[in-house]
Amino acid sequence: MPRGDGTGPTGAGPGTGRGMGGRGIRSTGSGQVGQGQGRGRMGGFGLGAGGNCVCPNCGKTVPHQQGLPCTQVKCPGCGAVMTRER
């Protein structure tokens, strides 16, 4: 509100922010009401600490090590860059 008289930009007044109870809720088209259907920030899957890294070339799997992305692991069989098993 540039002059403090309530004449700010359209849609930027009180009650238009996030978490304003009921306002801004949209239908998802499947009969449910809610917000957000994405995978979160940066498109990650949030697969957790367990699981395996798998080679896209030869199919060999190795246990995933926490703190080390599978994309930084080389396949022990063929040397290709591995990916995370889903």
What amino acid occupies position 64? Answer: H
- Angle 27-32-35 (CA atoms, 0-180°, nearest 5)? 55
User: So what's the pLDDT on residue 38?
Assistant: 58
Number of domains in the chain: 1
pLDDT, one tens digit per residue, over 43-65 is 556 666 778 999 999 999 999 99
Domain range for 58 is 45-86
Q: What percent of the chain has pLDDT over 90?
A: 36
Structure tokens that stand for 67 in this block: 């703190």
**Residue 1: pLDDT above 80?**
no
Residue 28 is assigned to a structural domain of this protein: no
- Span 2-22, average pLDDT: 65
Residue 11 is assigned to a structural domain of this protein: no
Q: Which residue has the tokens 């889903």?
A: 86
Residue 61 is assigned to a structural domain of this protein: yes
Residue 37 is assigned to a structural domain of this protein: no
User: So what's the pLDDT on residue 28?
Assistant: 54
Which pTM value belongs to this model? 0.46
Gap between the Cα atoms of 35 and 19, Å rounded: 11
What's the pLDDT band for 26 if we cut at 50, 70, 90? low
